[in-house]
A and B are shown apart, each in its own frame.
Chain A
Amino acid sequence: MGSEPITLTIRPAESGKKWSDESLERARRIMARYPEKRSAVMPLLYLAMAEDGRLTNGGMEQVAELVGITPAQVLAVASFYTMYKRERTGKYLISACTSISCMLTGGDDVFEAIELESGVPHGETDEEGLISVEHVECIGACGGAPAVQVNYELIEGVTPVKARELVRWLQQERPATINTDEMQRHFGGRRSFDWAVAEEASAVGPYPAFQPFGTVGGVGEGE
């Protein structure tokens, strides 16, 4: 039978650029906190997002190399969690909780209000690259439900009206710094959550916000 062999050849691409020495140093500090290197995958993925503005293939390859697993295994982790953004997000990422506590107290309405006011549906970013909208599972603020996060900074007791105000404020004021207290004052209601564990290694939260407080609102400027 003279049938030709099918040729569907793929070859490994050249691996991407390396991280900065500063990031590598931070990665080493994070890995040192775990008895097994591969346990550090998740914080290192945040670091990878900080490095490139989103989770790139190169970033995942770098994480794999650091902790000694294959990039496919890193992708398996990264693709499971919604916090790891493989697409570029806007300057402000608005996450509305629609899990049970928030849903019972009107979280769905809050989310709809955000969608309608911003004109951005779930999982997408506006054309300008300013606002991304998503609904998320529990963000640990059930006591102050319904809750919304902007760049992972929490606002509790949000109403649909306040949510619309929040979107307009972000669009008009374009604050350089997202501060949870400030937002809570203007757009929040009853608050339940007033404590937090200090983050030492500074490797939580994706782009755009990184540090829990006083974060500069992202790499988006000047790009």
Chain B
Amino acid sequence: MGVLTELLKGLRATGSVLIETVTGKEMLTTRYPKEMREKPQRFHGRHVLNRYPDGMEKCIGCELCAGACPARCIYVRGKDNDPENPNSPGERFGFVYEINMLRCIFCGLCVEACPTEAITMTQLFEFSTTNRGDAIYTREELLMDTDGNVPHMFPDDPLADMKELLTADGWLKATAPAGNASYEGVQTWQGTPGPASWDPEPDQETRDS
């Protein structure tokens, strides 16, 4: 007897959800791919290598991302910048940069490790391929153009949405870029890939005055 009561109780719950869903009161399923869901701000999608506003590459080939990567999917090699025509500020730039997207677990540790904020993640997640070779993204595919656009691997794909590549994950920074102690605990993030959006740190004179 008791069993039947319990069963009916359970079925009532099932029935009410069924009715809600069918009547569209609280629809969980979207009609993907015609309809795209809003992605959370800190969604971890495909990586992009950024540039400075003057067009210089941010990546200095330091391999900290490769060192931090738990999946060992990043391969970087540095090289001397040509002093006449440098790729990045300073002595060194990343002349090999590869990410094996099949191995990547999109944890974002590379982004946290990057000392120059060269690598950030976008909201693009539709990049399945039909062969393994295509899943290895090289420098050419990852690096944004000087005009701020990011190369899309499959621009003709009906799923391709350029906006996704231009929205960065809002990753947290516990401290300011220059390590100024007064910024400690202040969380800032960058909403779009590309040039850093915060103001440069004031110099000593400005700060003192």
Direct A/B contact, Cβ within 8 angstroms: yes
Is B139 among interface residues, defined by CB-CB distance under 8 A? no
In the assembled complex, the Cα of A92 lies from the Cα of B182 at a distance in Å of 53
Chain B residues lying within 8 Å of A3, measured Cβ to Cβ, are 77, 79, 95
What is the count of residue pairs linking A and B with beta-carbon distances less than 8 angstroms?
Answer: 6
Q: Which of B91-106 contact A (CB under 8 A)?
A: 95-96
In the assembled complex, the Cα of A6 lies from the Cα of B95 at a distance in Å of 15
Per-residue contact bits, chain B 42-81, to A (CB 8 Å; 1 contact, 0 not): 0000000000000000000000000000000000010110
**Chain B interface: which size bin?**
under 10
In the assembled complex, the Cα of A1 lies from the Cα of B80 at a distance in Å of 14
In the assembled complex, the Cα of A6 lies from the Cα of B80 at a distance in Å of 8
Chain A residues lying within 8 Å of B95, measured Cβ to Cβ, are 3
In the assembled complex, the Cα of A15 lies from the Cα of B95 at a distance in Å of 41
B91 to chain A, nearest CB (A): 10
In the assembled complex, the Cα of A46 lies from the Cα of B79 at a distance in Å of 47
Interface of chain B, helix or strand or loop or mixed? strand
Q: Which of A1-34 contact B (CB under 8 A)?
A: 1, 3, 6
In the assembled complex, the Cα of A3 lies from the Cα of B81 at a distance in Å of 12
Q: Which of B77-130 contact A (CB under 8 A)?
A: 77, 79-80, 95-96
Chain A residues lying within 8 Å of B80, measured Cβ to Cβ, are 6
In the assembled complex, the Cα of A1 lies from the Cα of B75 at a distance in Å of 13
In the assembled complex, the Cα of A3 lies from the Cα of B92 at a distance in Å of 13
Chain B residues lying within 8 Å of A1, measured Cβ to Cβ, are 77, 96
> Which single residue of chain A is at the shortest CB-CB distance from B79?
A3
> Which single residue of chain B is at the shortest CB-CB distance from A3?
B79
In the assembled complex, the Cα of A133 lies from the Cα of B96 at a distance in Å of 55
In the assembled complex, the Cα of A6 lies from the Cα of B92 at a distance in Å of 12
A29 to chain B, nearest CB (A): 49
In the assembled complex, the Cα of A136 lies from the Cα of B157 at a distance in Å of 76
B153 to chain A, nearest CB (A): 25
In the assembled complex, the Cα of A95 lies from the Cα of B76 at a distance in Å of 57
> Which single residue of chain A is at the shortest CB-CB distance from B95?
A3
In the assembled complex, the Cα of A107 lies from the Cα of B96 at a distance in Å of 61
Chain A residues lying within 8 Å of B96, measured Cβ to Cβ, are 1
In the assembled complex, the Cα of A1 lies from the Cα of B79 at a distance in Å of 11
In the assembled complex, the Cα of A3 lies from the Cα of B82 at a distance in Å of 13
Q: Which of A97-148 contact B (CB under 8 A)?
A: none
B162 to chain A, nearest CB (A): 34
In the assembled complex, the Cα of A213 lies from the Cα of B95 at a distance in Å of 67
In the assembled complex, the Cα of A114 lies from the Cα of B133 at a distance in Å of 76
> Which single residue of chain B is at the shortest CB-CB distance from A6?
B80
Chain A residues lying within 8 Å of B79, measured Cβ to Cβ, are 3
A143 to chain B, nearest CB (A): 43
Chain A residues lying within 8 Å of B77, measured Cβ to Cβ, are 1, 3
> Which single residue of chain A is at the shortest CB-CB distance from B77?
A1
In the assembled complex, the Cα of A119 lies from the Cα of B79 at a distance in Å of 49
In the assembled complex, the Cα of A6 lies from the Cα of B79 at a distance in Å of 10
In the assembled complex, the Cα of A1 lies from the Cα of B95 at a distance in Å of 11
Q: Which of B192-209 contact A (CB under 8 A)?
A: none
In the assembled complex, the Cα of A6 lies from the Cα of B83 at a distance in Å of 12
In the assembled complex, the Cα of A6 lies from the Cα of B91 at a distance in Å of 12
3 residue pairs, one from A and one from B, having the closest CB atoms: A6-B80, A3-B79, A1-B77
Seen from chain A, the residues whose Cβ lies within 8 Å of a Cβ on chain B are 1, 3, 6
Seen from chain B, the residues whose Cβ lies within 8 Å of a Cβ on chain A are 77, 79-80, 95-96
Sample 6 A-B pairs with CB under 8 A, ordered by A number. A1-B77, A1-B96, A3-B77, A3-B79, A3-B95, A6-B80
